[in-house]
Amino acid sequence: QECGIVHLSSGDLLRDEVRRDTVLGRQVKEVMASGGLVSSAVIVTLIRRVMRTHGPGKRVLLDGFPRSLQNATDLVELCGHPELAINLQCDDTVLIERILKRKEESDASAVSKSGQDEAHNGRADDNIHTALERLRTYHKYHKTTLDWLQEQHVPVVNIDCSGSAEHVWEQLLAIGRLMRPACWIDETSLLD
């Protein structure tokens, strides 16, 4: 919001479909729980549907997308060439630690809210087995996807995400601020 950009997280969109128990949610639930990639056709359809609600001319940050070469080519078909790709870089060990910590915090929150030990209310994919599978899937597709974007002359900005969330956020804000136009020009004033 601070940069005038609409943030769409592909994972959040999919988890919302699962939570609402939609037909699409039921289709993707098992794939997500196993750490696999949801088919490009499904995720592109979902992103297209949500992007329509924001109207034309809005800058959109697609978080977690594209994750494969098929996603990338579908993205270009859907929206044209991206203005920029942000590549979040982080050591696998740090990622696993963060996922497991998120699960612990979610479990602790569920216990404190109910006063008793309930089943995990957080993300179903926050476990070591799914996390490892997600990393395998990431490494399988990431380089090919990034190479393709570069071949398409999409600028790629690498961000070090091994630091604190605040540090990562500051890097993202800096990119967002740089992408804003320096000034707005009223096109009708150019006709005078």
Angle subtended at Cα 173 by Cα 67 and Cα 155, rounded to the nearest 5 degrees? 45
Report how far residue 136's alpha carbon sits from residue 83's, in angstroms, rounded to the nearest whole number. Answer: 28
Q: What is the pLDDT of residue 112?
A: 64
Q: What is the pLDDT of residue 13?
A: 93
Q: What is the pLDDT of residue 157?
A: 92
Q: What is the pLDDT of residue 26?
A: 92
pLDDT per residue, tens digit, the chain (192 aa), is 667 788 889 989 999 999 999 998 998 998 888 888 898 888 888 888 888 888 777 788 888 889 899 999 998 887 788 888 999 999 999 999 998 888 888 777 766 665 554 444 567 778 888 889 889 989 999 999 999 999 999 999 999 999 998 999 999 888 887 775 544 445 554 455
Q: What is the pLDDT of residue 151?
A: 94
Report how far residue 62's alpha carbon sits from residue 9's, in angstroms, rounded to the nearest whole number. Answer: 6
CB atoms within 10 A of CB 62: 22
Q: What is the pLDDT of residue 14?
A: 92
Residue 191, classed as helix, strand or coil, is: helix
Strand ranges inside the chain, DSSP E: 5-9, 59-63, 85-89, 156-160
Q: What is the pLDDT of residue 187?
A: 53
CB atoms within 10 A of CB 181: 7
Q: Is the pTM of this model over 0.85?
A: no
